Every structure is written in C-alpha cells, then in structure tokens.
A and B are shown apart, each in its own frame.
Chain A
Amino acid sequence: MKFAVIVFPGSNCDVDMYEAIREVLDEEVHYVPYTESDLSYYDGILLPGGFSYGDYLRSGAIASFSPAMRAVKQAAAEGKAVLGICNGFQMLLESGILPGAMKRNEKLKFMCRQVELEVVNNETMFTSLYADGEKINIPIAHGEGNYECDELTLQRLMENKQIVFRYTNNPNGSVASIAGITNEIGNVLGMMPHPERAVNDLLGSADGIRLFKSIVKSWRENYVVTS
C-alpha cells in the first residue's frame, strides 16, 4: 500500500507518521509537500499533526486552501483512505470534508498526555482490528481539541455510527466526548489523539499500531485480492 504524508509549513508530527508506516507497517510511504496537487499515485493519505501556518486565524484554516488539500478532497470523494491526526483533523473540519469545528480546550490549557479511548465503532477500515468497546491508550497533545457541532449533526453522527473513538474521561470538553469521527462513507477518519505516537511499548503504548494495520488490511481485502 502506498501512503502519502502531506507536509505543511508547520507540520511537526510528519516524521512520527512516516516512521510509523515505514518501520512498524513496512509499507511504502512518501513525504508529499502541501504544494502538490496530484495524489493519484497514493492509496492512503495521511494528514499529520502540528501547527500548519502557525495555527493563524484558526487551526487548520489556512492549510485547508492549499493545493494538497484540494487533492485530498478529491481522494476522499474517490473513496481512498484519508486519516487526519490532530491538526490534520482540524484541516478536515475546516475544509468541510468532516462536519463540525474545533474550539479551544475547555480549560484553555494545552494538554499533552496519554488518555484512554473507547473504540465506539470497530466496523470501519480504521478500527477493524480493535474489539468493539475496547479501551485503548493513545496520547493527546493539543490546545484546540474541543469538538463542537450542532445537535442535528451530532444526531447524524450517532445514527450513521460515525463516532469512532470517544474519550472515557473527556479532557477537552468535546461534545459527546468525541475523540474521532469518520465521514458518512467511512473512508475519512479525523481524530485528535495521536496513534502514530503509540506504536511501540517504549513510547508507553502500542495501541495505535492496529489502527494503521486495519487500514492496510482493508485495502488488501478490497483492492489487492480482487485485482
């Protein structure tokens, strides 16, 4: 499977993401600059965390107008796997690929620690290797991770099983303790916690590995076997 890690001015989790794919998954992975407008070579698109464009205006707002994000929109519409972590999640929200918006954490503090998540839906291409309702440990590192959406959107997210991860102890004030959601079709996942920082016990947790392995498994089942 061929992965692209999109690098924006200010990305700082791009290397973690790249290494998680290369070392842990042993899949093909490339850094792709934000100026690239053609992502057709890749099967999976990864939007890393960081502070794209210095988080000016709103986190992810300026990045969402880059050529790469236009290509990500297209890839998402084509059904390719798109994963946005932290600032990547914020970009997916700002570009309208996922519903909702991010506000500053309820307690206005930047938080950087391991948190417990509940796998709310294990029937997605990102979570098939987790058990339903499983509790996993993944670190967070954000100041603006307070997910907000209107009631109608929340209702839709729940009805369509788009809420994939919830915090067991809501650290930032997010509506319905939401830590990660997918789009309606399920090929785009945005989450605030960093699974790429939880791929080795030395890092405090290896619970993030199965997320990446789930993507590859789904891709192999859907594309490799049939072609």
Chain B
Amino acid sequence: MVKVKVFVTLKEGVLDPQGKAVKGALHSMDYFEVSDVTIGKYMELTLEENVNIKERVQEMCEKLLANPVIEEYHYEIEEALQR
C-alpha cells in the first residue's frame, strides 16, 4: 500500500476569509511578523500500489478533491507502507 498526502489550498489571489480571520487573531496576539495566513485542507489517501499512481492521484485532485476554479493542490507520495 502507498500513502499519499494531498494538500489543497486556495489559489493565490483568491481572498481567503478564514486565513484573514486567523491572521487578524495572530496580530491581536502581537505576532506581527505573520504577513499572510492561508487555510487549506489536508487529506491522506491510502492506495493500492499502481504504476500510474501519480496520474491517478492527479486525476482525483482535479475531478473531486480540489476545485480548480479557486483551489490549487499538491501531493506527496510516501514510501510503500508495510503490508
């Protein structure tokens, strides 16, 4: 089995209301060094080994896991898990 970590965030330039609120909170706590906060989603997929794993995961991201109109994604494929 292979574990894939998928990260989905809003595209740059798309206003992120949640990120903005969290940034405001950090500033109110005097963490002024924070210039931007983006909030996204993290997903873990456990997949059966497949030669086309990259292609398949990319397809999943584009079709369902991310909305390409406002979101972008990247993923990391982990070493084969113990059987």
Contacts and interface: CB of A to CB of B under 8 A. Distances in A.
Interface residues of A, number: 21
Interface of B: 10, 14-18, 21, 41, 64-65, 67, 69-70
A62 B18 CA distance: 22
Interface of A: 57-58, 61-62, 65, 93-94, 99-101, 103-108, 146, 148-150, 173
A104 B18 contact: yes
B21 A103 contact: no
A146 B64 contact: no
Given A103-B70, A148-B70, A57 B65 contact: yes
Contact of A107 (B17, B64, B65, B69): B17
Contacts of A107: 17
Nearest to B43: A57
Most buried by B among A65, A104, A173: A104
Given A105-B17, A107-B17, 11 more contacts: A57-B64, A57-B65, A61-B67, A99-B69, A100-B69, A101-B69, A103-B70, A104-B17, A108-B17, A108-B18, A148-B14
B17 A146 contact: yes
Nearest to B70: A101
